[in-house]
Structure 1
Amino acid sequence: MSEVTGVALGVVTGMVLGAIFFGGLWWTVINGTKALRPARWFIFSMLLRTGIVVTGFYLLLGVPGAGLAMMLAGLAGFGLARLSATRLLSAPVQTVESGDVKGEGSCQGGKPSHAP
C-alpha cells in the first residue's frame, strides 16, 4: 500500500468513526432527553460509541505498512468529522416568549442576582 493511499484510507476511516461517534451522540441527546431513565441512555451510548471508536483506531493502527501515519491521518479525519458535525447537526431550538419569562434568577440591574 502506498503512503498516499494509506493516509487517504486513514482520513476516510477517521471520518467514518467520527460520523458514528458524533452522530450517535446527537441521536442520544435527542432521544435520551425524552426517555424515562436518561442516565441509562447516556451511559450506555457513551460506552458503545467509545468502544466502537477505540476498536476502529486499534484496527487502523494494526494495518501493516504505515500504521502510525494512518493513525494520525485517522485522528485528523476524526477531527474533521467533529467540525462537520458541529456545523451540520444542530440542537433543537426552544424559543421562549417574552411574556413567559418571570425574571426569577435573571440579571437585575446588569448584575447577577447572586452577586454581592
Structure 2
Amino acid sequence: MIMNEMLTLLLALVAGVLLGVMFFGGLWWTVRKGLASKRPAAWFLGSMLLRIGLTVAGFYFVGGGHWQRLLLCLLGFAMARFLVTRFTRVDEKPTALEGEAGHAA
C-alpha cells in the first residue's frame, strides 16, 4: 500500500515536469514564431489559451482531489520552468554600445 502511494506521488511529480515542459517550451516556441509572424497577436493569444487549458486540465486530472499529488505536480512544474529556461537560454555577447552603457551608471 505504501509503495503504491509512493509510485503515485512520483508519477504526479513526473506529470508536473511534463506539464511544465509543455507550458514553458510552448511559450518559448510561441515567442520565436510569434515575433517572426505577420500576426503575432493571434500566435500569442492562441498559444496562451492552449497552454493554460492543457495545464489546468493536467493539474486537475493529476491532482484527483489529493493535495499531495497537486503539490508534487506543482513542484515538477516549477522544476520544468528551471530546466526549460536553462536549455533555451541564448548566450549573446554584448555589443560595444551595451558595454559602454554599463559605464554610464
TM-score by length of 1: 0.75
Q: Which structure dedicates a bigger proportion of its chain to helix?
A: 2
Give the secondary structure class of the aligned counterpart of 2:104. Answer: coil
Q: Tell me which residue corresponds to 1:28.
A: 30
Q: 1:37 aligns with which of 26, 39, 57?
A: 39
Task: Output the CA distance in 1 between the equivalents of 2:8 and 2:68.
Answer: 8
1:110 aligns with 2:104: yes
Unaligned runs of 5+ in 2: none
Q: Tell me which residue corresponds to 1:59.
A: 61
What is the number of equivalent residue pairs in this alignment?
Answer: 100
Q: Tell me which residue corresponds to 1:68.
A: 67
TM-score by length of 2: 0.82
Aligned identity (percent) is: 41
1:82 aligns with 2:81: yes
Task: Output the CA distance in 1 between the equivalents of 2:43 and 2:90.
Answer: 18
- String of CA shifts for 1:39-69, please: whole Å, max 9, x gaps: 1110110110000000000111227xxx211
Task: Output the CA distance in 2 between the equivalents of 1:110 and 1:73.
Answer: 46
Task: Output the CA distance in 1 between the equivalents of 2:62 and 2:16.
Answer: 9
Task: Output the CA distance in 2 between the equivalents of 1:94 and 1:39.
Answer: 29
What is the CA-CA distance between 1:93 and the residue it aligns to?
4.3
- String of CA shifts for 1:73-101, please: whole Å, max 9, x gaps: 100000110010111112484865x4xx6
Larger radius of gyration, structure 1 or 2? 1
RMSD over aligned CA atoms reads 2.3
Task: Output the CA distance in 2 between the equivalents of 1:78 and 1:71.
Answer: 10
